[in-house]
Structure 1
Amino acid sequence: MEIRLLGKEEALPMGLLLEADPSEKLVRAYCARGRCYVAEEGQAVLGVYMLLPLSDTVIEIKNIAVEKTRRGQGLGKQLVLHALTEAAGLGFRTVRIGTGNSSFGQLALYQKCGFRMASIDRDFFIRNYPEPIFENGITCRDMIYLEYDTSENPHD
């Protein structure tokens, strides 16, 4: 498996991106401003993540998704760790990631990778998505942001 930067002329793996973020409008907007990375095996895209610079020192992992048949095999963690390495290599000190209040698996994964809770944007999903999102029997309402300091947490 190889994780690589998607070329500007290459089509976005929109199906996979929409699994992590159901708003095609929002996905296209941040993809136009960020860097898209894909995990591939042969011609098959198994995973994807987006890096979106927020300032000279802060970059956000804006979307991260793994193909359904490959979930639970450590690929999500590989993508997160790859993103951290890329962010540090690009000179960013802080890596931010957000997930819904109902996304228990993602919250655990990000903390296992060294992220720490930073802030909560209350009612983010209510304001930004026309249809309610339900996960793990809970309404997804709030965005929980976590941060990783590349200077304090070298993982290589």
Structure 2
Amino acid sequence: MLIRKLNPGETPPWELLELADPCRIIVEGYIKSSTIYVGEESGEAIAVYVLKETLKVVVEIMNVAVHEDFQGKGLGKQLISHAIEEASKRGYAQLEIGTGNSSIHQLKLYQQCGFRIVGVDFDYFTRSYDELIYENGLLCRDMIRLCYTFES
């Protein structure tokens, strides 16, 4: 998979972005001030992640998704590794990510990639989204916050 920065004026891969975050209004809010990276196979967008600077020394992965037909092939790990590399090259001290309490596979992946759980935003999903989200047979209620700290 080739991972590249989305060019200015290029249409974001909405289908992929909405896989990770079903509320288009929320996604539109954060992509305006973010950098979008697209993973492609044969010129087709099959994966995406979004980096947003939140503090001068902190950047956050706001969205990460792999098309359902390509899941389970290690592409998510490639995206996270690429994000870590990009954040390091850009000189950030920390890379953050948040995911739902019900996102069992993502929680495992992020920790395998070196992220550590640093907090919980209780009821984030139930207060931020109009519709309830269920995943892996669980109500997605709380946002689990994780952080990757770069060696200084």
Q: Over aligned residue pairs, what C-alpha RMSD do you find?
A: 0.8
Equivalent position amino acid for 2:123 in 1: D
Equivalent position amino acid for 1:72 in 2: G
Superposed counterparts of 1:27-66, under 5 Å:
27-66=27-66
User: Residue 42 of structure 1: CA displacement?
Assistant: 2.1
Superposed counterparts of 1:89-100, under 5 Å:
89-100=89-100
2:151 matched residue in structure 1 = 151
1:68 matched residue in structure 2 = 68
1:83 matched residue in structure 2 = 83
1:6 matched residue in structure 2 = 6
TM-score, normalised via structure 1 length? 0.96
Gaps of 5+ in 2: none
Distance in 2 separating the partners of 1:5 and 1:110:
22
Equivalent position amino acid for 2:96 in 1: R
1:128-152: CA deviation from partner (whole Å, max 9, x where unpaired): 0000000111110000000001227
Distance in 1 separating the partners of 2:137 and 2:27:
25
User: Residue 41 of structure 1: CA displacement?
Assistant: 1.5
SS of 1:47's equivalent in the other structure is strand
Distance in 1 separating the partners of 2:48 and 2:60:
14
User: Residue 8 of structure 1: CA displacement?
Assistant: 1.5
TM-score, normalised via structure 2 length? 0.98
Percent identical: 47
Distance in 2 separating the partners of 1:88 and 1:18:
27
Superposed counterparts of 1:103-118, under 5 Å:
103-118=103-118
User: Residue 43 of structure 1: CA displacement?
Assistant: 1.8
Distance in 1 separating the partners of 2:31 and 2:20:
13
SS of 1:18's equivalent in the other structure is helix
Distance in 2 separating the partners of 1:5 and 1:150:
22
2:25 matched residue in structure 1 = 25
Distance in 1 separating the partners of 2:6 and 2:134:
31
Distance in 2 separating the partners of 1:71 and 1:118:
27
User: Residue 53 of structure 1: CA displacement?
Assistant: 0.3
Equivalent position amino acid for 1:96 in 2: E
Equivalent position amino acid for 1:64 in 2: V
1:43-82: CA deviation from partner (whole Å, max 9, x where unpaired): 2111000001001111000000001111000000000000
Which stretches of structure 1, 4 residues or more, deviate above 3 A after TM superposition? Answer: none
SS of 2:55's equivalent in the other structure is coil
